[in-house]
Amino acid sequence: MFQTLTQWFPATPRRLVQAGFAMFFIGGAALFLALLAGLGGGDVAALGARYPDLPTWFVPEGPAGYTTACMMVCWGVWAMGSGLRLAREASAGRR
């Protein structure tokens, strides 16, 4: 009745690893930009006012943004590990 998330994905470990890699780096970049914005002094929410010409919609400003970015990093690590595990299992089955 209950399926794990790995079973919902097609048996394509390469896509799972690539998606995990992308999620990891996108979440990590968002967290890094938030860190840089916080080091500049002042409020991170005022980032759009400080740089009106730059798009700053993807920089986390509150708990929801930080939680989303951290979840992307965690899901990315999980997806890469699951994809690599599926690839190992598939290559072991071929021998």
* pLDDT digit string, tens, across residues 10-33: 568 888 899 999 999 999 999 998
Pairs from 59-68 (Cβ < 8 Å, separation ≥ 24):
59/30, 59/33, 59/34, 60/30, 60/31, 60/34, 61/34, 65/30, 65/34, 66/31, 66/34, 68/27
User: Using CA atoms, how far apart are residues 82 and 7, in angstroms rounded to an integer?
Assistant: 10
Give residues with Cβ within 8 angstroms of 45, minimum separation 6: 61, 62
Ranked by mean pLDDT, which of 40-44, 45-49, 70-74 comes out on top? 70-74
Predicted model pTM: 0.74
